[in-house]
Structure 1
Amino acid sequence: MALFKKRTAGKPGEWFYCLEHKKVEEGPECPAKDRFGPYTTRQQAQHAMERAAERNLEWETDPKWHDKGKDDARPGEEGA
C-alpha cells in the first residue's frame, strides 16, 4: 500500500500557480515541486509571485532571521 496517493485531478475550486509554465492552473496539473498553492480563487493564484516577493522581503529584513556576529565580524575574521 502506498504511503501517499498521487492525485491526478484537482478538487473543483483549487487554483495553483505553475512556476514552470508561469501560469494559473485549476487543479494540480504540474508536479508539486513546480507550483504554489492551492489557492481558493484564481485571482489569489495570479498574484502568487507578488506575494512570494513580499514575504521574501519581509524575511530578509527581519532581524530575528539573522545570526548576530556573522555580519558584524571585522574583515579577515569569521563570524561567531
Structure 2
Amino acid sequence: MAALFRRKASGRPGEWYYCLRHRTVEEGPDCPGKDRFGPYATRGEAERAMETAHERDAAWRHDPRWNDRDEADRDEADD
C-alpha cells in the first residue's frame, strides 16, 4: 500500500549533505532531513561530516562546562 502523502526532502541544489542512511554525500534535497547532516558549503565539508561529528563529540565530552561528573568530583574533593 502506497502512502497517500510523501514527505518532500528540504534543501536546495548547491547545498551539500551527508546522508546517514546511505552513508553518501548528496547535493540538494535527496533524502529527508532526519537522515542527514548539513547543509555544508562544499562537497569536501560534507565528506568529512562523520569526522567532524566525532571531533565535536569528543570536544563536548571533555568540556568542563558540560561535564557534570567532573563538577561532582570537584565538589566531593572540597568536602
Tell me if TM exceeds 0.5: yes
Alignment RMSD, CA only? 2.1
Instruction: Give the % identical residues.
Output: 57
Residue segments in structure 2 that go unaligned for 5+ positions in a row: 1-6
CA shift at 1:8, angstroms? 4.6
Give 3-state SS (helix, strand or coil) of 2:65's partner. Answer: helix
- In the superposition, the TM-score normalised over structure 1's length comes to 0.72
The CA distance in 2 between the partners of 1:12 and 1:28, in whole Å, is 7
The equivalent residue for 2:4 is none
The CA distance in 2 between the partners of 1:9 and 1:61, in whole Å, is 34
Richer in helix (by share): 2
The equivalent residue for 1:60 is 61
Residue segments in structure 1 that go unaligned for 5+ positions in a row: 1-5, 75-80
Q: What is the number of residues matched between the two proteins?
A: 67
- The 5 A counterparts of 1:1-80 are 8=9, 10-67=11-68, 68-69=71-72, 72=73
The CA distance in 2 between the partners of 1:9 and 1:59, in whole Å, is 28
